[in-house]
Amino acid sequence: MKILFVGDIMGSAGRKAFMDIAIPMKQRGEVDVIIVNGENAANGKGINPDMAAKFLDAGADVITLGDHTYDQRQIMNYLNEENRILRPANFAPGTPGKGWVTVQTSAGALTVINLIGRVFLNPSDCPFRTADKILKLAPKNQPIFVDMHAEATSEKMAMGWHLAGRVSAVVGTHTHIQTSDSRILNDHTAYLTDAGMTGSKDSVIGCEREAVLKRFLTGLPARFEPADKNVSLEGFRVDCDRTGKATLAEHVRIQHEG
Ligand SMILES: [Fe+2]
Ligand SMILES: [Fe+2]
């Protein structure tokens, strides 16, 4: 199974890059599966049902989210109705949506799990114990892909080792800055501390840099808008066999020529 994971989609520039770069890769048969973190698709703040449906209709297999999950009110019902969009599994029980799913792809069944960290983020249940609980329920001996949405590199690396040998891949999201440490842990689990962001690189983690700089320089409130110049898609390419053992782990960055 050839998987492309796409890092946080930032605003309209990120959405366009995703449609122009990732979807054709699947259409050309370069990848079998696309998983995409969409938590910043709607002007940096969450995702709305129309955007999510457009990604899924075009060929995305599963959408993951993060701390911006509930920024768009209309997404609440959609999270309950659409199977192929996840919010972190360790959010408080009873909140809209679900945190893991098994989907049928053109290359077989795939389980995707979305988790959120607790270091420098709002309180959530324990992502490590949540992952253990899900793995008891999830189908065995087939691919399992984990998006660990977290701020701290240590917490993401710890999750990589916690799940090493038990899942096909653990990828970090949220910082919007790609790391270069892609590797396979314990000869089984593809790992990358952060997949990066799909959006403008002439920005501060996807936002117009003037407003961000103004806030750093003055401390005054400023309205952040997604930037749109010099856009690239960033993510993680993972191959795994039918049993779920990873054979390839590569961070990817592709310039958007649009
Ligand atoms: Fe993000
Ligand atoms: Fe985030």
Q: Which of 203, 214, 171 is nearest to 44 (CA)?
A: 203
The CATH code of the domain that includes 233 is 3.60.21.10
User: Which ligand lies nearest the alpha carbon of 7?
Assistant: 1
Query: How crowded is the C-beta side of 37, counted as CA atoms within 13 Å?
Result: 40
* CA–centroid distance, residue 254 to ligand 2 (Å): 21
CA of 46 to the centre of ligand 2 (A): 9
The pLDDT of 130-149, averaged and rounded, is 98
Q: Which pLDDT tens digit goes with each residue over 148-204?
A: 999 999 999 999 999 999 999 999 999 999 999 999 999 999 999 999 999 999 999
CA quadruple 16, 233, 168, 2: dihedral, nearest 10? 70
**CA distance linking residue 185 with residue 215, whole number of Å:** 40
Per-residue pLDDT at 144 exceeds 90: yes
User: Is the whole model's pTM more than 0.85, yes or no?
Assistant: yes
Instruction: Please tell me the predicted confidence (pLDDT) of residue 132.
Output: 98
Q: What is the pLDDT of residues 64-120, one digit of tens each?
A: 999 999 999 999 999 999 999 999 999 999 999 999 999 999 999 999 999 999 999
Structure confidence at residue 7 (pLDDT): 98
- Is 68 noted as a catalytic residue in this protein? yes
- Tell me the average pLDDT across 213-235: 96
User: In what helix (H) or strand (E) does residue 160 lie, and over which residues does it extend?
Assistant: helix 153-163
CA of 242 to the centre of ligand 1 (A): 30
Q: How far apart are CA 65 and CA 148, in angstroms?
A: 10
Helix (H, G, I), strand (E, B) or coil at 169: strand
Amino acid at 27: Q
Ligand nearest the Cα atom of residue 66 = 2
Judge whether residue 218 has pLDDT over 80.
Answer: yes
User: In terms of C-beta density within 10 A (0-12 exposed, 13-18 middle, 19 or more buried), how is residue 103 classed?
Assistant: middle
Give residue 117 CA to ligand 2 midpoint distance, Å.
10
180 CA from centroid of ligand 2 (Å):
19
For the chain, the domain total comes to 1
Banded pLDDT at 258 (limits 50, 70, 90): confident
Q: Please write the tens of the pLDDT for every residue from 49-71.
A: 999 999 999 999 999 999 999 99
- The rounded distance, in Å, linking the Cα atoms of 43 and 256 is 18
What 8-state DSSP symbol labels residue 5? E
The ligand that comes nearest to the alpha carbon of residue 8 is 1
Q: What is the chain's mean pLDDT, rounded?
A: 98
What residue numbers bound the domain in which 220 lies?
2-255
Choose, from 68, 174, 176, 188, the residue flagged as catalytic: 68
The model's confidence at residue 137, banded by pLDDT at 50, 70 and 90, is: very high
Q: Spell 48-80 as b/e; 16+ CB within 10 A means b.
A: bbebbeebbeebbbbbbbbbbbbbbeebeebbe
